[in-house]
Every structure is written in structure tokens, then in C-alpha cells.
């Protein structure tokens, strides 16, 4: 029999080099913990499945016999080898495990070796994101366009819509995408500067093959991203994203054929571009149509983050009759999210109080998220929004399944408040993609993230910041109460969140000393709070969050873990 180490180091395509430490958590290698949590919530993974995954994660490469023997040794009730093999097949079908076949040197025996499935190399949970012309280049954008134009144009002339935010590099990426798309024969419709949810709306209501949004959301101006949206206005299926990646890497195999290069369109088949600002205007009209109350006499503050909402949000609120006051609506290509918007809400807090406004709304760079400020200058987070609108829906008998969908980042206090109101809740992995997929599968009407990505599935298939602000206005006007009163029943546990910029996200989290520090905090908190350490999906950052009964306790424990990360040499 070939020894395990021989399989691992000699014939595995993932062979470990001497001294190399291989980790299995996401973007640069293998399926992420977020994905596993998501699939658990969708019902794809049972407790037995999770035990198998823990084991494969621990030993990296294993045969089914090895998995069975260790599970039995650990007193896991797996019944039989056949039962285990069935579980392994289920995990392969859900694309969490992958299997490789290796033969002995004499060719007499074949071994099946299991490891965690590889995930996207370029596309994360929120698109292909990176610093412009560093790890996201015009060549990448051109190839994305070439593939999409060809793939969706196999049976008819593809029609693809593009929107962008206000970053200087967004224009560069737009031109590169257009070049790739039209070279493959697609017609391209340009919405120009617009929001991510507007692209989703236009795609699903006007029969486009797909949509592209050029944005890095709340990231700094020097970053950018390419978000792909399918014909239903939802995030592009993973299997298509993997094909795009294969084409970028020159190893595309699809339609039973290897494609070292894709054919170019010629003559009249070359695609054209269409100025499609009318699509953006129809989206604005749709938002206005959702305003069931007049906003006349309500003083509303808007922080547009010098981003996508700068020329949309005010027009919508003005049309509904509000007295609208706007800050950070003068984009210059370099100031998007710069001390502005939902990630720097302190500016709007001050603005609301100084101007004596009734309410304030802050958006991020592409306006797919929204946070609020009440008339007293207090921040109304995504958790508050979920609570306020969840209760409003339940009161009117509109909360289908009696469930609000949250993520693991939501505050303890939200769940206590839901319990008091008799409202059920679900928890998904972090990412509006996972929230929406759970909602779609289970028929839920509202879900979102603490950061302000709120999805109202009756009206949109993605988070929409401007739509969220309109819904908050609706509750205020329907109940004739200020935002501070609507949020009052929700008691938020003190929370401290610190972002640590690191050299290696995975190594920092997997470090034994860091894990020991996290475990010590968790044990100290017991059932009076919690600690959550997770990596950013879009930045070289590890997020350390603690909730506890008081702020000082939160800060103490966050500082302990952050100092451990830095003392181990991971801090930048």
C-alpha cells in the first residue's frame, strides 16, 4: 500500500513543498468557512458531514478508509464504510469536497484521495476586486468581456448592460470591458455612473443576458471591482465565474472542447455600444413609484459618499416631496468613500444635528447599502433596520415565514428583541449573496447585514441603499413616529470591531497563539458575550469583534487579540 505521505508529496497536484504550510480557507486556495456555513444553512450539510469536513481540513488529504477509521476512533456514529462513502458523494455534489484518483507505481491499485474543493481564484463573494492595475488590470477586464460576449452570444447576439461608480479607474475598466465584449460580438448598453442595484433592476426587467457593475463598493478609490449579474438580477452563478477564471488563466474547457483562445467577431457581427442612460432613469422612476406617502415637510439628509448615488438619491427624494439636504455629492474620481458615506457616518451625524433634520441616510460607494441617523444624531445600523421593518411587516401580516434573515455578525441584542416580538430569525455566513440565497430558498421577505446591506425580496434581488431609505421613511410616516422611537425597543449590546491590516489573512487566523487568544476570550465571556474573528473578503484585513455587557470589556478583549496578531508579526 502507498503510504499517506507518499500520496501527498509525490502524486498529489497540491503537493506540499518542504516547509510550506497549506491552509484551507478561501480566496487563494480552497473552499472558505463562510461557504461551509452557508451550505449548512441551506440544509446541504448535516452534523456528520461537518465531522468529515473537520477531519479532511485537519489532515488535508485522506482516503475514505482513513476517514472512516479515524471517525470510528473518535466515536462518531458513521454506521459503515458504505454510509461514509454516501456522505462523501454528497459533499462532492455540493462542491465542498473534491476527489482525485492516484495509482501505485506498479499500477495495480488505485486510491481515491479527498481534499477540500478549490474555490474561485479571482472572484470572491462580491466580484473580482483588487487595486486597479495591480491585481485587477485592464487585461483582466478585457478577458472578462471577451468571455461573456462569446459565452452569452453562442445562440444569439448577446446584449449586456454596464454600470460604474465614480472612481477614476472605473472609466478605464469600462472601456476595456466594452472592447472585449464588442470584440466577441456583444452589444453593450452603458448606464454610465449608477448604482449596483440599478444594474440588477435593468437586467431583470429589460431582458439583458447579464449585467456588469464596475465598483469596489466601500473600498478606497484606488481599488476597483467587477461584479457580474445574471439575467435574473442576481449574482452570477459560481459555475460561470469559474469558467471566466479558466479563460483568464488560459485553460478554458467548455462545450466539450478546449479553448486556448476565443473567436473574434467580424464585419457586421462586431458588437456596438448604446448610450442607455434611459435605463437608469427607469430605475429612478421605479423607486419613486414605491413611495406610498408624500415626504412633504420632512427634512432629510443624504450622504452620497461621493459615489454612485450622487446623481440619483436626491432626485428620488425631491420627487417625493422631501426637503433634501445633501453632503458628499461632488465626486472627482479620488474622493469616493473618503471620510464620507456609510463607513464614515460621523459626518452625517453631525450634519443632521446641526441642520435640525428629521432623518439622515448614508450610502456606500455603489449604494447597495444604507445606514441611518435619527433626529438626535444616533446611528441606526442594519440590525436596527431589520428590527424596525421586520416588526412593521409582522404587524401588517406581511412577514412571510415569520423569519428575518441575518448574518453571524448581527448583534446579540437583535435576537433578544426578535424573541420578545415573536419573530423568528436565521443566521447565514457574512455576505449579502448568502443572505439572498437563503431568502430565495426559504421564501423570506427581508434579510440583511449589520453593515446596511438590506434585501427586500419583494422589490429587489440585491441590497439597495436608496430602496432601504425609502422603506425606513415609509415606516416613520405610517406610524407617525421619529426614527429614535422606532429603534428604542432594540437594546444593542456594546460592540467593538477592529480591523487589523495584515500580511497574510489566513496565516494570522490559523496561528496557534492567535487561536489560543481567541479561545481564552471566548471562555472568559461565556454566555455574556461573544468574540468573532474573520477575514475581509475584499481587503488584506482581519476583523476582530467582541460583544459584551459593557464597552470597556469589549475593548479589553479586542485589544488582547489584536496585540497577539501584531506580536506574531502579521501586522502591517
The residue behind cell 446584449 is: 159
Q: How many residues does the chain have?
A: 572
Q: CB–CB of 337/344 below 8 Å?
A: yes
Rounded to an integer, what distance in angstroms lies between the CA atom of residue 559 and that of residue 541? 16
The DSSP symbol for 494 reads: P
Residues 6+ apart with CB under 8 A from 527: none
Spatial strand order in the sheet of 159-164? 123-124, 127-131, 223-229, 210-214, 159-164, 187-193, 273-275
CA angle (347, 350, 353) in 5-degree steps: 145
Residues 6+ apart with CB under 8 A from 82: none
Rounded to an integer, what distance in angstroms lies between the CA atom of residue 563 and that of residue 566? 5
Q: CB–CB of 153/184 below 8 Å?
A: yes
Q: What is the DSSP string of 183-207?
A: HTT-EEEEEEE--HHHHHHHHHHTT
Rounded to an integer, what distance in angstroms lies between the CA atom of residue 389 and that of residue 373? 16
Q: What is the DSSP string of 268-331?
A: GGS--EEE-HHHHHHHHHHHHHT--S--TT-EEEEE-TTSGGGGTHHHHHHHTT-EEEEES---
217 given a catalytic annotation: yes
Strands 370-373 and 379-380: antiparallel
Q: Of these residues, 32, 64, 217, 410, which one is catalytic? A: 217
Catalytic residues: 217
Amino acid at each position: 500500500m502507498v503510504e499517506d505521505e507518499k500520496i501527498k508529496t509525490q502524486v498529489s497536484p497540491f503537493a506540499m513543498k518542504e516547509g510550506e504550510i497549506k491552509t484551507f480557507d478561501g480566496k487563494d486556495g480552497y473552499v472558505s468557512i463562510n461557504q461551509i456555513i452557508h451550505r449548512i444553512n441551506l440544509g446541504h450539510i448535516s452534523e456528520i458531514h461537518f465531522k468529515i469536513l473537520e477531519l479532511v481540513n485537519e489532515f488535508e488529504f485522506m482516503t475514505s478508509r482513513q476517514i472512516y477509521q479515524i471517525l470510528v476512533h473518535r466515536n462518531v456514529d458513521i454506521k459503515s464504510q458504505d454510509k461514509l462513502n454516501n456522505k462523501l458523494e454528497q459533499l462532492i455534489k455540493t462542491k465542498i469536497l473534491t476527489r482525485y484518483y492516484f495509482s501505485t507505481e506498479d499500477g495495480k491499485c488505485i486510491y481515491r484521495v479527498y481534499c477540500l474543493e478549490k474555490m474561485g481564484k479571482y472572484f470572491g463573494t462580491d466580484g473580482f476586486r483588487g487595486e486597479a492595475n495591480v491585481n485587477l488590470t485592464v487585461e483582466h477586464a478585457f478577458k472578462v468581456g471577451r468571455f461573456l460576449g462569446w459565452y452569452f452570444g453562442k445562440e444569439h447576439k448577446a446584449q449586456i448592460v454596464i454600470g460604474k461608480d465614480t472612481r477614476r479607474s472605473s472609466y478605464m475598466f469600462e472601456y476595456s470591458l466594452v472592447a472585449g465584449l464588442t470584440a466577441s460580438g456583444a452589444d453593450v448598453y452603458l448606464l454610465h455612473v449608477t448604482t449596483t442595484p440599478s444594474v440588477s433592476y435593468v437586467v431583470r426587467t429589460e431582458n439583458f443576458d447579464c449585467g456588469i457593475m464596475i465598483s469596489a463598493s466601500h473600498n478606497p478609490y484606488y481599488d476597483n471591482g467587477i461584479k457580474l449579474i445574471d439575467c435574473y438580477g442576481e449574482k452570477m452563478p459560481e459555475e460561470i465565474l469559474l469558467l471566466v477564471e479558466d479563460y483568464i488563466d488560459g485553460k478554458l474547457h467548455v462545450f466539450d472542447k478546449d479553448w486556448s483562445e476565443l473567436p473574434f467577431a467580424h464585419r457586421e457581427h462586431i458588437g456596438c455600444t448604446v448610450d442607455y442612460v434611459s435605463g437608469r432613469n427607469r430605475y429612478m422612476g421605479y423607486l419613486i413609484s414605491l413611495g406610498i406617502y408624500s415626504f412633504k415637510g420632512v427634512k432629510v439628509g443624504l450622504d452620497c459618499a461621493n459615489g454612485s448615488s450622487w446623481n440619483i438619491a436626491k432626485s428620488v427624494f425631491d420627487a417625493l416631496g422631501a426637503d433634501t439636504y445633501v453632503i458628499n455629492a461632488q465626486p472627482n474620481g479620488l474622493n469616493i468613500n473618503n471620510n464620507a458615506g456609510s463607513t464614515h457616518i460621523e459626518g452625517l451625524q453631525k450634519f443632521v444635528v446641526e441642520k435640525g433634520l428629521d432623518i439622515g441616510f448614508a450610502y456606500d460607494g455603489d449604494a447597495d447599502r444604507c445606514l441611518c441617523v435619527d433626529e438626535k444624531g444616533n446611528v441606526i445600523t442594519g440590525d436596527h433596520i431589520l428590527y424596525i421593518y421586520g416588526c412593521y411587516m409582522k404587524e401588517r401580516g406581511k412577514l412571510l415565514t415569520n423569519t428575518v434573515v441575518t448574518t453571524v455578525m448581527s448583534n446579540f441584542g437583535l435576537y433578544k428583541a426578535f424573541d420578545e416580538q415573536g419573530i423568528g430569525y436565521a443566521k447565514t455566513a457574512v455576505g449579502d449573496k448568502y443572505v439572498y440565497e437563503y431568502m430565495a430558498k426559504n421564501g423570506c421577505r427581508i434579510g440583511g447585514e449589520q453593515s446596511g446591506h438590506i434585501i427586500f425580496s419583494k422589490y429587489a434581488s440585491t441590497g439597495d441603499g436608496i430602496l432601504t431609505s425609502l422603506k425606513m421613511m415609509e415606516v416613520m410616516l405610517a406610524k407617525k413616529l421619529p426614527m429614535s422611537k422606532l429603534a428604542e425597543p432594540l437594546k444593542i449590546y456594546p460592540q467593538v470591531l477592529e480591523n487589523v491590516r495584515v500580511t497574510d489573512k489566513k496565516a494570522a487566523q490559523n496561528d496557534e497563539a492567535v487561536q489560543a487568544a481567541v479561545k481564552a476570550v471566548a471562555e472568559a465571556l461565556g454566555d455574556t458575550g461573544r468574540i468573532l474573528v474573520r477575514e475581509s473578503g475584499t481587503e488584506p484585513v482581519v476583523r476582530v469583534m467582541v460583544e459584551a455587557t459593557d464597552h470597556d470589556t469589549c475593548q479589553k478583549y479586542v485589544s488582547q487579540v489584536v496585540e497577539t496578531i501584531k506580536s506574531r508579526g502579521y501586522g502591517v
